[in-house]
Amino acid sequence: MHKITHISMETDVLAENRHLAEHNLERLRGSSVRSVDVMGTTGAGKTSLIIALSRMLMARGLRVAAVAGDVTGQDDYDRFQAAGVRAYNLNTGKECHLDANLLDRTLDGIDLLAVDFLFVENVGNLVCPADFPLGTDKRMVVISVTEGDDMVRKHPMIFQGADIAVMNKMDLASYMGIDVERVKADYRRLSGGKELLPVSVRTGDGLEALADRLLG
């Protein structure tokens, strides 16, 4: 988080965000939309994962949409659309995270009664999104085996605030020589006993279990 001279102002911003997040949650639930905030490192595979999960949920009969959050551009939006996932682009301009106000304004452009499940892809960043809940049912954090085995210890706040933690690109685990058990143990300790979910979007391993968790 950037240095802000007056602590009271930071508190105000976070409190106002929480208030708006509650408003978003009411709004989504009022339209029977289930939702997840997908946080994670840049390049962890958030977009590919959302596409794979969207296809699974659509195969289960759900109407899915995705909000593509990024600082600039519409690469992820284009990828969602090309993959047949209804998408909405959300650029933050310079902000390193989404916030409840940005999601609120994006929801204005979505016919929520035509959506059963909404993915909100946050800006790739393991620090700033932690402080800004959006008002989704769940928060999920995605890392990948290529990032090393110290991610949980280095970014405890975002893992503590997440309902689901996912380690992607498991097909590369042996090549990377990463100690996945160490990451799992770190997360178990930090989360009070929760299990990190290993997945591979490339092979499909773990994705059905993750889809169940999203709906659970």
**Residue ranges that bind a copy of itself, judged by CB under 8 A:** 1-5, 9, 13, 41-44, 70-73, 75, 94-97, 99, 123-128, 143-144, 146-148, 150-151, 153-157, 169, 172, 175
Which is nearest to 210 in space by CA: 135, 83, 119, 76?
Answer: 119
Q: How far is the CB of 64 from a copy of itself (least distance, A)?
A: 22
Alpha-carbon gap, residue 216 to 148, rounded angstroms: 29
Residue 116 or 147 with smaller CB distance to a copy of itself? 147
Residue 44 or 166 with smaller CB distance to a copy of itself? 44
Largest CA distance in the chain: 50
- Residue 113 CB contacts under 8 Å (≥ 6 apart), including other chains: 31
Residue 146 or 191 with smaller CB distance to a copy of itself? 146
Q: How far is the CB of 157 from a copy of itself (least distance, A)?
A: 8
Lookup: tokens for 89: 């682009």
Alpha-carbon gap, residue 181 to 152, rounded angstroms: 12
Distance of CA 180 to the CA centre of its chain: 21
Residue whose structure tokens are 């682009």:
89
Residue 117 or 198 with smaller CB distance to a copy of itself? 198
Which is nearest to 82 in space by CA: 43, 110, 48?
Answer: 48
Residue 37 or 70 with smaller CB distance to a copy of itself? 70
Alpha-carbon gap, residue 125 to 3, rounded angstroms: 17
Q: How far is the CB of 5 from a copy of itself (least distance, A)?
A: 7
Residue 37 or 147 with smaller CB distance to a copy of itself? 147
SS3 178: coil
Q: How far is the CB of 43 from a copy of itself (least distance, A)?
A: 2
Q: How far is the CB of 109 from a copy of itself (least distance, A)?
A: 21
Alpha-carbon gap, residue 200 to 173, rounded angstroms: 10
Q: How far is the CB of 116 from a copy of itself (least distance, A)?
A: 28
Which is nearest to 16 in space by CA: 90, 102, 138?
Answer: 102
